[in-house]
Structure 1
Amino acid sequence: MALPPSEAHSSDDPIRVLDVTTDDYRRAFELFLAGSDEKAVTHAHLLALVEQLPRRSVFLDIGAGSGATTRYLGTHFERTIAIEPSKYMRDALRLTYPEAEVLSDPVETAEPPALADFALCSHMFYFLPESQYLPTVRRLLGWVRPGGELVLALQNPDNECMRLVRHFFDIRFDLAPTAKALGTGHEDLVESCTLETLPVRFHADNLPDALAVAEFMANVPDLAERATRPTHRDLEDYVTTHFADPTGTGYTIDHDHDIVRIKRPETP
């Protein structure tokens, strides 16, 4: 599924800022989904957690995006509430899973109408400064009923995708310090907190698809505001050096996920 020739760029041009509302973003995201086992791996893991719950009345999806995971897990609950500030994503979410109650407020001001038995927050912490990780987790836990669970998902900071991000932008996203901090001093909201890493990978058969997905992965939240961006030549050099399969069968990018599972105590 290589990109058409019209999408080619000069090697000296900076990588593109892929706005979520554009066809460029959609094509890159579709390439990523087609070559990654992320949904299969994470959905199976999350469903196993859901099936262990003592009750499944309310599911809360925080930063629900276009709703694929919302729908996948929401069908196992009596009620689904989704928080999604982006109008573009909310429109897609309503098409994907019209049964969900959708809130448009950002996390800082949202007030879900019911406490959740299971709350999920996937890939939202890229958009927060690290100093806000712990306060935000405590806020999210306030939306979970006693005995319920909050699950956070973020890419592992040492996977190949995040090493690419660190190479070009010198930034790191890591939930491990927050998970460790929740282990003590937060007994009012936390009974237990565990972190595990799920192996996930993307594979492309050809260089154009690998480059398109690498550009998608390099679209850090503040990319548009940065004074300089790596060029397409920089990105191609990195991809061919670090992601080419030794057997010559394509390009593989590991993007393992960290899953933080936080259980609230039965008695607040």
Structure 2
Amino acid sequence: METTTRDADPVRVLDVASADYRRAFELFLAGTDEKPVTHARLSELVAALPNRRVLLDLGAGDGRTTAHLARSFDRTIAVEPSVAMREKLRTACPDALVLPDRLDRVRPPEPADLVHLSHVLYYVPEPDWPGTVARALDWTAPGGTLLVVLQNPESPCMRMAAHFTGVRYDLSPLADRLRAQHPAYDYAIETLDLHYRTPYLAEAVDVAEFMVNVADLATLDPRPSRAALTAYVQDHFARPDGGYAIGHTQDMLIIRRSPTS
């Protein structure tokens, strides 16, 4: 394979406000089955709630999942500190109360029957995870449910990130710690099997670059090269029948508060 100038460059640090991030994110969404699979499971969890008065989405992003959930609730509160994401969020959820604060500073005005914390803990130092999730539990109404979503540590996506960055996330120790602190709550971890697919190597590499940005790449010296990432994609994600498939299995920690807790 011929090496281009870009191949010799390090993988990019993708800022959430940048055009490169938005392009990679759109490529990912166009090729993944994540939204239909997760939205179907979220709908089942919502249907089982005893009340559906308030939804609180922490780190709501562009609002696609928020909008899917919001139609089942009387009121929606969405927290999103990114200016670029908030613009899309307000378009997707025009009736939501949108709060621009960071998670460690936000003060939602009322407890919620569903609190959704999806793919946010990547951006929180791991020692702060228990405090962050404990605050989310405080914002969960009695009888309500808190959902914490993160990549499964053994997913192909996470194995790739660990290979290049050493970063590996796992919700299980957090669940054990919370269970010890709040034994009256009900805990479960579900795993959803998800895949990104594309016929094109260049798009697969761009999405792989997006995926390894779960690590703080700016702190790595040196950062891995695009050539090394391309070789990894070809070695691990090429399909025998052509094209590329990257598994990104995710875990969903489900914490249910009792009606009297």
Compute the TM-score of the two structures, normalised by the length of structure 1.
0.93
Aligned partner letter, 1:193? Y
1:125 to 2:118 alignment: no
* Among candidates 35, 42, 47, match of residue 43 of structure 2: 47
1:28 to 2:24 alignment: yes
| Conserved? CA contact 2:17–2:82, under 8 Å | no
The offset of 1:10, in angstroms, is 2.4
The offset of 1:23, in angstroms, is 2.0
Describe the SS at the equivalent of 1:126: helix
Aligned residue number for residue 252 of structure 1: 245
Q: Would you say how many aligned residue pairs link Structure 1 and Structure 2? A: 258
The offset of 1:251, in angstroms, is 0.7
Aligned residue number for residue 198 of structure 1: 192
Aligned residue number for residue 169 of structure 1: 165
Structure 2 portions without partners, runs of 5+: none
Aligned residue number for residue 263 of structure 1: 256
Aligned residue number for residue 5 of structure 1: none
Aligned residue number for residue 229 of structure 1: 223
Aligned residue number for residue 57 of structure 2: 61
Structure 1 portions without partners, runs of 5+: 1-7
The structure with the largest helix share of the pair is 2
| Conserved? CA contact 1:59–1:80, under 8 Å | yes
The offset of 1:221, in angstroms, is 4.4
The offset of 1:28, in angstroms, is 1.2
Aligned partner letter, 2:258? P
Describe the SS at the equivalent of 1:183: helix
Aligned partner letter, 2:63? G
Cα shift readout 1:44-75 (whole Å, capped 9, x = no counterpart): 11111001111100000000011001101001
Cα shift readout 1:119-177 (whole Å, capped 9, x = no counterpart): 10000111122222222211110001111110011110110010010000111111111
- Cα distance, 1:169–1:221 mapped onto 2, change above 3 Å: closer
CA distance in 2, matches of 1:55, 1:9: 56
| Conserved? CA contact 1:74–1:80, under 8 Å | yes
> Which moves more between the two structures, 132-141 or 147-156?
132-141
Aligned partner letter, 1:250? G
Question: Could you list the runs of 4 or more consecutive aligned residues of structure 1 that deviate by over 3 angstroms after TM superposition?
Answer: none
The offset of 1:87, in angstroms, is 1.4
Identity %: 48
Aligned residue number for residue 144 of structure 1: 140
The offset of 1:25, in angstroms, is 1.5
| Conserved? CA contact 1:9–1:232, under 8 Å | no
Aligned residue number for residue 159 of structure 1: 155
| Conserved? CA contact 2:161–2:215, under 8 Å | no
| Conserved? CA contact 1:13–1:231, under 8 Å | yes
CA distance in 2, matches of 1:246, 1:253: 14
Pairing 1:94-133 to 2, within 5 Å after superposition: 94-133=90-129
> Which moves more between the two structures, 14-23 or 163-172?
14-23
| Conserved? CA contact 1:147–1:264, under 8 Å | yes
RMSD (CA atoms): 1.3
